[in-house]
Structure 1
Amino acid sequence: MTDEEVLQIALDTGRIFNDGDEQAAYELIADDFIDYEAPEGAPRGPEAYAATARWMRTVWENANWEVVDAFAKGDKAVLRLIFTGRQVADFMGVPATGIEVRVQHLHVFRVVDGKVSEHWAVRDDLELFRQLGAWTKPLQGAPKPVPAA
């Protein structure tokens, strides 16, 4: 596959999260798909990916993943996203706040035979929890570490 084709498949996964298009999961996600962002032992495959999207869309009203940068090389594509949404249900132990959030994510997709086979993500969860009021981030930055003796 060309870099452009790999990138387009990664971009098309946005239909699953942004549009709630669960059929797209079966078109774009491999049966043996592994999501390294999911907890150890979590189910694999297109239904698992669709279920994650379904859950996120129930937690976050008006959930949106906006692509701001994207590229592909070989069998991998990288997307830098801005996630926005209003928290309307419990998320990772934080009760619904009704707060609108805006948080950056990085996602890496590996595409094999025209389908996403692996996914890694880095989300700015500290910033997310700061926006939700669940964590207070020092305004002037963290204290400087003390050198070892």
Structure 2
Amino acid sequence: MTKSERLKPVAQIAESREREAARIMAEQQQHLEQQIQRLEELRNYRSEYAQRMQDAGCQGIDAGQMVEYGNFIRRLDEGAQFQLQKIEEARRLLDIRTREWRALHTKTEALNKVVDRFQNNERHLSDRREQNENDERAQYRRRDFHDK
């Protein structure tokens, strides 16, 4: 078994691990995007609710309703703050997953280059061996031709 044939399974395992890391990284990217979308929805809802509060205030509402509006807006602000923390955590995890994928990608590329180099060397040796055999055959034919 040639060196390249012995190393191919190792390279295939590395490629498999890299693909799995890429899948996990993509899932984490999607999770981050979902968290950002949730924050945007919270901010939009808060903006709409604040506009309703302002409209209701212009039409004249009692103090109790105004306090309720204010409390609800405060809870929306707290929710947005919590969502920001979730986004930061998702970004941190995405950064970790990206670094993991890059490390595996680098390893896979290196292994593939080694396999390619071994294959090129093996081809070169095979070509040289074949050329030597052809040269020997041609030499024998010349001897046979001259001997007759």
TM-score bucket of the superposed structures, by smaller chain: under 0.3
Greater C-alpha Rg: 2
Using structure 2 for the length normalisation, give the TM-score. 0.21
Larger RCO: 1 or 2 (CA < 8 Å, sep 6+): 2
Using structure 1 for the length normalisation, give the TM-score. 0.21
Point out the structure with the larger helix share.
2
